[in-house]
Structure formats: structure tokens, C-alpha cells
A and B are shown apart, each in its own frame.
Chain A
Amino acid sequence: MEKSRRNFILGSVRAAGIAALGGLVWSAYIDEVRANTLLLRPPGALDEPDFLNACIKCGMCVEACPFDTLSLAGPGSNKPLGTPFFTPRDIACYMCDDIPCVPVCPTGALDITKVSTKGELDINKAQMGAAIVDTKNCIAFWGIQCDACYRACPLMDKAIYLEYEKNKRTGKHAFLKPIVDTDICTGCGLCEHACVTKEAAIRILPREVVLGAVGDHYIKGWDKKDESRLQNAHSTTTTTKISKEKAVDSLNDMGSLLDDF
């Protein structure tokens, strides 16, 4: 009797220990793959955390894509296993009008309403990422004529437009600099795919990785519409203690910067 009780207790503790160990390794792995935030998702994808728990990894979007743009993350790639993504430098999104990849999603991880206007599919609303130009390595910024990304853009002159600027070095030529309007850019990646440099000088990155957010402190006073952003603004009052030191001393005061000063 005594022995069986001991066995029972030992067995339970052992099982709990194994479960805790397994749970630790398991959750560490999940945290690790979840930390990969540089993935580009199909059009209409929910925000990354919601996407990850809604996606059932069935691959219906991958099968629906006529350009083989999408693939499912495989083991060893250090990406969340089985979730769909695309690499525009290899195959970009061709922004089909009927967006075949989205309606087939059984779980709503690809949300039809995020790519619809008034109930009609509208691929121009997609926000798969944002194009960013590396102005140091873009040859158009050197003054060499190249408009590969501009011409590849499905929303030419809106998502990517050319800014003309005098080339002072030669005195007689113009720079034709590609500028991205990230409000309009869908992140399809056709620009990155078309870029002529060895490594693309224009790249698609997830919007949340690359875009800032102004917040409520600044508005465009010259833009009536921009003021509407303030409708939901709330104010916080902060009080700063007034220093008794002389103003000039603040130049020498490293106390707040260097702890051990």
C-alpha cells in the first residue's frame, strides 16, 4: 500500500517534470519562429499575431496562386512552419483582379474584407508590405537612367513616381529618382523583382517593420482631412520638475547619461 502510494506520487511528479521540460522546449521553439517578422504574407492577411493563430496551414492559397508566388514555410527555414509567404525577388505578386488566393482561405486568416471595396474585390487595397528604396545603391540616384521599378509597378505614377532633379555634377542632365508612396504601395514586389542591381536596391518589407507612426502630436495644419485623425485623440499631462541648477550647467551635466559619473 505504502509502496503503491509512493509509486503514484513519483509517477505523477515525473510526468509533470517531463511535461514542464517538453513545454519549455516547445514554447521556446514557437517563440523563436514567431520572432521572424520579415515574412511577406499573401494579400488580405490579418495582422501577424492574428494571422498565425488563424492560419490552418492548408495551402489552399498556394494552390490557388496561378504564378506560384506563394509557398508554405518548410522545416529548417526558421519560419513559422506551414504558413504561406512569398519572396518577391524570386516571384512577385502579380496582383490578379480576382485575387484567387484570398476567397479560398477556409479560416479567414486571409480576410476578404481587407481587399474589398463596397463588396467588390479590389487588389489595390492589399497591404502585403511597403517598398523601400536604398538611395545609396539605386543607380537612378547616381544619375544613371533607370526606371525599371517605376515601369514594373502596377500602380505606376501612384505607388512609385519619378522625381526630377537637376544633376549638378554634369550640369546638363536630370536625376529621375523613384519615390515610393507607401500609402498606395501594395507590396506586390514587382519593383524588387525588376530592379537591375545585383542585390535589389528597392525592397519590400513588412509594413509594421518599416513604417513609422506619427501619433496625435502632429497634424498637417494645411490639410483639412488630416485633422480628423484627432477625433480619437486624448491628452495626457506630464509635469517635469524644474531644475534648480543654472541653465549653463546643464551643458556639463552628464549625470543623467552616465550612471557612474
Chain B
Amino acid sequence: MISKLWSNYRFLIARRIVQVSVMLLYMAGNYWGWTFIQGNLSSSLVMGVVPLSDPFAALQMFSAGAMLSTNIIIGALIITVFYGLVGGRVFCSWVCPVNIITDSANYLRNKLKFNQVAKKQPASRNIRYWVLALSLILSYILSITAFEFISPISITHRAIIFGLGMGWSAMLVIFLFDLFILKNGWCGHICPLGGFYSLVGAKSLIRVDHNEQNCTACMECKVVCPESQVLFMVSKESMQVLDGECTNCGRCVEVCNDDALNFSIRNLIKDKKNEKIN
């Protein structure tokens, strides 16, 4: 029983542990002065030495015409290289606290069977790239970091780390939006940071691999996947999930009872063949 639970939720549990620990460490940095990691997801300092910075915020600063300090450039490079290797949207599913909110909304949506009523989602998943472009254009025109001024992600993690204030309102809005208006609405359609990380991780090395021989076409994976379009090959063809929009959350891997989906290292040689098929 317990081993079944573990095998069906092992990545989910690990992700929650990582997400909560990151937030707790930041909070400890603020409230008790722990130096393991200080700051927040926009910019932080690890062990008082290593800078980490949100590369999308840095990009907005650049287009707003601000001088980028060395700390910010190094911090943004470290983050870009890290997520560029492990998968950009690993940030979304393993670190970002908003993920917990949108996952709960999605869970509730499934439980309340909203998805059976509204089968088609009325919005394109490409909106996020439009918002991404708009962020940079507005940053340039208004010479201000445009998305950082409205980002519900930043509002959320700042609310958690520095004290709640009215921060809960942003969380509630996202929760209700995802629950009632659009399935995977925020993370899967609108969030420009998710769009940015999709691009960062487009060539990343850790990939889910689909083995069509084992697949029984139960489609459980597509039900749980927050970006189900990336699983287009399921039950059709054996290949890796190469789309940058995959968040490497591992839900598909753990719900698959037929060993048809597993994490793997991107096969750089096979890569070309896969692209041809695409």
C-alpha cells in the first residue's frame, strides 16, 4: 500500500519537499538571519558568496536601460546554465511556490469534474510568449522592469518570505482563475516566466522518454500532465519528450503503471532523427 503510494507520488512528494524547503530557507534567512540562502527568488545570495538572480528580471532590467551589476550578470548566468541543463521549467515545477497553488486548483478541478464540462480550453498556450514579448517592450518603453511590477509569482514568494500582508490576494486570484476560468491557466498559458524558462530549457539534457512498446494507451499521463501537448507521442511512437514546455515534474512517470515513461538523458545522437520526424 505504502509502496504503491510512494511509487505513484514519489516525484510529487519530492517536489513539495523541495518547494517548501526553499521557501523555509529563505524565511529563515529573513527571520533568523540564516546565511544558507538569503533574499528571494528574484535575487539571492548562497552562503554569503554565490549570487543567484532571476535571468528574466535581469533581461527586463537590461531592456529598461539599467546598468547590470556584475553580481546580477553572474547570478543570472548561473541560473540560466543550471536550468538550461536540467530543464528550464524545472523551476516551475520544483521551485516556484505558485506551482503548489495551481496544482491544488487543478486537483480540485479534476475532483469537481469541471474538465468534463469544459473539455476545450478557450485560450492558446502561446499567450505566455506574447506576454513575455510585451514585458520586454513595456520595460523598454516605460524604462522600468514591467513584469516585476505586477508579477504574482514575486508577490507570492515575497508574501511568504517577508510576511503575508495583502499577498494572499494574488494567490487567491490565481487559484480561482485556474479553478474556474482556465485549466492550467496561469502556469500553462499566461506566465511569461514559464515561457522564458521554456525557451531556456529547450535544449536541456534531462528528458522524459516514452517507450511505446510498453504503453497500454490508458492516457493517465495526459490527464495529470499540466502541459499535455508535450505528450503528443504517447501510445504512437517511442521518443523523448523534447518540448521545452515540459516542466519535468515527473507526474507522468509516476502515474504510468506500464513502465512506458521514464526520465532519461537527452539522446544527443538520436536527436536529429527525432527532429526530422517532428
Contact = CB atoms under 8 A, between A and B. Distances in A.
A108 B141 contact: no
A75 B165 contact: yes
16 contacts: A19-B134, A53-B144, A56-B61, A57-B40, A58-B43, A62-B162, A63-B29, A74-B158, A74-B167, A76-B166, A76-B169, A106-B43, A106-B45, A106-B51, A107-B61, A107-B71
Interface of B: 29-30, 33, 38-40, 42-45, 51, 53-54, 57-58, 61, 64-69, 71-72, 75, 127, 130-131, 134, 137-139, 141-146, 148-150, 154-155, 158-159, 161-162, 165-167, 169-170
B54 A56 contact: yes
A107 B75 CA distance: 11
Contacts of A74: 155, 158-159, 165-167
Contacts, number: 133
Contacts of B40: 57-59
A75 B166 contact: yes
Interface string A26-42: 11011101100000000
Contact of A107 (B65, B72, B154): B72
Nearest to A31: B142
Given A62-B162, A63-B29, A81-B154, A53 B145 contact: yes
Contacts of B161: 59
A56 B158 contact: no
B268 to A, nearest CB: 35
B134 A56 contact: no
Given A15-B130, A22-B134, A54 B162 contact: no
A221 interface: no
A184 interface: no
A123 B130 CA distance: 45
B69 A57 contact: no
Contacts of B67: 54, 108
A59 B154 contact: no
Contact of B146 (A30, A49, A54): A30
A72 interface: yes
Contacts of B68: 107
Contacts of A34: 144
B143 A53 contact: yes
Given A53-B66, A57-B148, A107 B30 contact: no
Contact of B158 (A50, A77, A80, A82): A82
Contact of A30 (B29, B54, B61, B144): B144
B32 to A, nearest CB: 10
B144 to A, nearest CB: 5
Contacts of A29: 149-150
A104 B61 CA distance: 18
B172 to A, nearest CB: 11
Interface string A121-153: 000000000000000000000000000000000
Contact of A75 (B33, B42, B127, B169): B169
Contacts of B61: 53-54, 56, 107
Nearest to A52: B144
Q: By CB atoms of chain B within 10 A, which of A22, A31, A33, A75 has the most?
A: A75
A104 B45 contact: yes
Nearest to B74: A106
Contact of B71 (A71, A72, A77, A106): A106
Contacts of B54: 56
Contacts of A76: 165-166, 169
A91 interface: no
A108 B70 CA distance: 10
Q: Which 5 A-B pairs have the closest CB atoms?
A: A74-B165, A58-B43, A76-B166, A53-B64, A58-B39
Given A59-B40, A106-B45, A106-B72, A53 B162 contact: no
